[in-house]
Copies of this chain bind each other. A is one copy, B any other.
Amino acid sequence: VHTRHRVVAIMPREQQVVVDDLDGGGERRESYDRLLIACGALPVRPALEGIDSDGIHQVNSFGGGLRLRELLDRQSPQRVVVVGGGYIGVEMAEALHQRGLPVTLVQRPAQLMSTLDAEMAEAFAEYLTRAGVTLRLGEAVQGFTSQNGRVSGVVTDQGTIAGDLVILGLGVTPNSALARAAGIPLGVRESIRVNQRQETETANIWAAGDCAESHHLISGRAVHLALGTVANKQGRVAGINLADGEASFPGVLGTAITKFMEGECSRSGLSERELQELGWEYVTATVDGHTLPRYYPGSAPIRVKVLAAKGTGRLLGVQIVGGPGSAKRIDTAAVALQAGLTLEELLYLDLSYAPPFSGVWDPLVIAARLALKET
């Protein structure tokens, strides 16, 4: 039976960690042969006035989710303000909208879902506005007002938004403080630098999950992606190698997916913004189609955008926005990206067709055909 411990320092030279016994046993040292750092990520929490008021929630842990649900059941808040329009912000907006609460989503960036290109993000944002969510984009949060210690509003550079429940969805940063203090080299956005075996640059120390760097399969650059799929794969690779096995994590495409009610969106590979940052020449094509033949019940709009290398036609990225049944199709694109397929090769993919499932030409294939003309 274990007491509760917290690691407070890593000493790579001594191959020891300093642990604090949280049940009062004080600090002591523990030796290791091999060490895995899997500290995850911490939610961004800016030091804004009033941020510690009651009713301001983060939902980055199971306990945090339970506390929020308890508050919803017990205190029946009347107006919700979600701060941040990424995956967490959108998913919390959906959950609270589904409970019948009026939701305002506010953020500094002018574009919801920064991992999508602007016109795709706008198409997705329409699902939120149509459902009645108030979007306040391009509006910087500066603090919070409160009454009797309880939040009453969100102060921005454009006014005050009334709200008695505030959800913060401002992203995460790698929890790499222990590694940094131990002199373990960090990489992108302070995430722990690792190789494809999940080894850090310090002997006998591995890192995996939201605290660690990843290799981007298309750009070839190091990236930090705090996603469950990446964390699971990195953990598997680290575990195998720690146990004297042989495993290698090839890298990531940044595949991601979310929804708001009927609206779905997903992406894989590089976006226009990322390609511009790399200075790569690219072509794009966007197709508006339907998930199923239009005559078939349940047919929904789907917009597919492809990005490919100018010249070679190598697929570089795909984004999807649409109704039910749209977004999961990104997996087809993710395999094509991982396999390094070109637009030409996409044209003759043998994808499944039957009216309850799709049209005879997949929108991805149609988009590839259009983009091919631009290469």
Contacts and interface: CB of A to CB of B under 8 A. Distances in A.
Interface stretch (A72-80, A170-178, A180-188, A247-255): A247-255
25 contacts: A87-B354, A228-B353, A229-B350, A229-B360, A255-B352, A256-B352, A256-B354, A257-B352, A257-B357, A259-B356, A325-B328, A327-B352, A327-B357, A328-B328, A328-B352, A329-B331, A330-B352, A331-B332, A331-B349, A331-B351, A332-B332, A332-B334, A335-B349, A336-B339, A338-B350
A343 B341 CA distance: 18
A268 B351 CA distance: 9
Contacts of A110: none
Nearest to A356: B259
Interface of A: 87, 91, 217, 227-230, 232-233, 249-259, 266, 268, 325, 327-332, 334-341, 345, 347-354, 356-358, 360-362
Contacts of A341: 335, 339
Contacts of A327: 352, 357
A165 to B, nearest CB: 22
Contacts of A252: 350
Pick the most buried of A335, A349, A358, A362: most chain B CB atoms within 10 A of its CB. A335
Report the copy number of this chain in the oligomer: 2
A353 B259 CA distance: 12
A330 B351 CA distance: 8
B357 A349 contact: no
A94 to B, nearest CB: 9
A257 to B, nearest CB: 4
B335 A232 contact: no
A229 B334 contact: no
A364 B360 CA distance: 24
Given A338-B349, A339-B339, A354 B255 contact: no
Contacts of A335: 332, 335-336, 339, 341, 349, 351
Nearest to A333: B335
B331 A352 contact: yes
Nearest to A214: B350
A358 B328 contact: yes
Q: What 5 A-B pairs have minimum CB-CB distances, sorted nearest first?
A: A339-B339, A257-B352, A335-B335, A253-B350, A255-B350
Nearest to A217: B350
Contacts of A268: 350, 352
Contacts of A233: 347-348
Given A249-B348, A348-B249, A348-B250, A229 B353 contact: yes
Contacts of A331: 329, 331-332, 349, 351-352, 362
Contact of A353 (B250, B253, B257): B257
Nearest to A327: B357
A127 B342 CA distance: 39
